Amino acid sequence: MLYDVIVIGAGSMGMATGYYLAKSGKNVLMIDAFNPPHEQGSHHGETRIIRFAYGEGAGYVPFAKRAGELWKELEAQAKKQLFLQTGVINIGDASSLFIKNVVSSAEFYNLPIEPYSAAEAMEKWPGLALPDHFLTCFEPDAGVLRVEACIEAYKQLALAAGAVLHTNEKVQSITAGDTVFVQTEKGEYASKQLIVTAGAWATELLKTMDVSIPVTPTRKTFAWFEADESLYGEPQFPAYCFELNSGIYYGFPSIDGAGLKMGRHDGGDVVNPNEPLHPFDDKDAVDLQNFVSQFMPKQGDLKFGKTCKYAMTPDEHFIIDFLPEHHNVMVAAGFSGHGFKFSSAVGEALAELAIYGESKQDLALFNLSRFAE
């Protein structure tokens, strides 16, 4: 059987891609080493922030807006709440590049934001404790996606649209050519086109076809704290991003009584994605506890922590491109800890690349040629 497209990795990006391809009438096979949604990659832990006034650069805004539209469509099709409009508060000192980018993204694209002084923010959200010189910028339209439910919704729709999904089947190697051959531990499959959305495993997988991409798997930690729901519960408290001189932290209000959740975005150890991650330990707890004691001092004790994998590029921008060596192979990887919110739009864009050779989205920021030097 010759498939139109094989998608390797049916996680955040791959499952959405499989859906948009199948919906367009393509004969698509998705293969995953586990059974998504699962806890082995980058997509577990209940929640992901979606922001539109983008601290990582205004170039992301149209893509984020398209992703937001597609999440609403997915919610309507799946008949499930996937997005919670909690708002997101961005916090940093006056020199924070992240805050500057949030403001300039909002100005350029006419997005609503509400700047508050530290005192005003603490009055609005009494769970916060901020130094006087901190700036805050609240984006009311931003919020939280229920990450596993989003992937499950795409999975059901993709299967209903006729996509084939092989789970618990790890791809071992790829042989490119006019027909692409994909070897797994269970068999060999052939297709006209290939899309690699293998997250933290993308680098090792592409190596099997002698292609090198600068994507590094990194261990990350996140944790939940007991929360006074009147201060930190959704809908009273927003999701948040802090850019501090000492680190970048983000988190979520207590949703469904789960507790105040937070994680650290910067840093983290480089890991082998095939080995179990070192479990959440006391050192991880102390770092998050210090942050929370300083800026959200009315929270309770640590409930539990978890680990997860980021797939980092050197400039922390994504890779979404054809491989220069192979006209029928696309890769979407290196989502560098901020990719989930885009996964709906990434899926649509990859399907467009496969079908038309180009996307309606401007993907120039994500091309591979930027690493050519």
Ligand X SMILES: Cc1cc2nc3c(=O)[nH]c(=O)nc-3n(C[C@H](O)[C@H](O)[C@H](O)COP(=O)(O)OP(=O)(O)OC[C@H]3O[C@@H](n4cnc5c(N)ncnc54)[C@H](O)[C@@H]3O)c2cc1C
Nearer to ligand X, 215 or 296 (CB): 215
Q: Which of 154, 182, 158 is nearest to 169 (CA)?
A: 182
Instruction: Name the active-site residue from 220, 261, 309, 338.
Output: 261
The candidate with the shortest Cα–Cα distance to 171, out of 193, 200, 196, is 196
Q: Does 205 bind ligand X (CB under 6 A)?
A: yes
Work out whether 299 is an interface residue with ligand X (CB under 6 A): no
| 125 and 134 Cβ atoms separated by less than 8 Å | no
How many other C-beta atoms are found inside a 10 Å radius of the C-beta of residue 177? 10
Residue that the structure tokens 């999904």 belong to: 165
Rounded least distance, CB 199 to ligand X, Å: 3
* Furthest-apart CA atoms within the chain: distance in Å: 65
Task: Find the shortest distance in angstroms from Cβ 130 to ligand X.
Answer: 21
- Phi and psi for 102 in degrees, rounded to 5? -60, -45
| Cα distance between residue 249 and residue 244, in whole Å | 8
Regarding 330 and contact with ligand X (CB under 6 A), the answer is no
Q: Note if 265 is an active site residue.
A: yes
The CA distance from 90 to 341, in Å, is 16
Please indicate whether residue 197 is annotated as part of the active site: no
Closer of 61 and 118 to ligand X (Cβ) = 61
- Pick from 7, 22, 28, 31: which binds ligand X (CB under 6 A)? 31
308 counts as binding ligand X under rule CB under 6 A: yes
End-to-end Cα separation, the chain, in angstroms: 40
Q: Which listed range, 68-76, 157-165, 332-340, 357-365, lies at the site for ligand X (CB under 6 A)?
A: 332-340
* Unique residue bearing structure tokens 């978890």: 306
268 binds ligand X per the rule CB under 6 A:
no
Q: Does 33 bind ligand X (CB under 6 A)?
A: yes
Pair 73, 355: CB distance under 8 Å: no
Peptide bond into 37 cis (omega under 30): yes
Please say if 47 is a catalytic residue.
yes
Among 3, 9, 116, 350, binds ligand X (CB under 6 A): 9
Q: How far is the CB of 204 from ligand X (least distance, A)?
A: 8
Q: Which of 5, 17, 19, 43 binds ligand X (CB under 6 A)?
A: 43
- Can residue 249 be called a binding residue for ligand X (CB under 6 A)? no
Instruction: For residue 100, give Cα distances in angstroms to 33, 295, 330.
Output: 40, 21, 33
Instruction: Report how many residues bind ligand X under the rule CB under 6 A.
Output: 41
* Closer Cβ to ligand X, 15 or 22, answer by number: 15
Closest CA to 15 of 41, 44, 36: 36
Q: Which residues bind ligand X (CB under 6 A)?
A: 8-14, 31-34, 36, 40-43, 45, 48-49, 170-171, 197-199, 201, 205, 220, 222, 250, 263, 308-311, 333, 335, 337-341
Q: Which residues are catalytic?
A: 44, 47-48, 261, 265, 308, 341
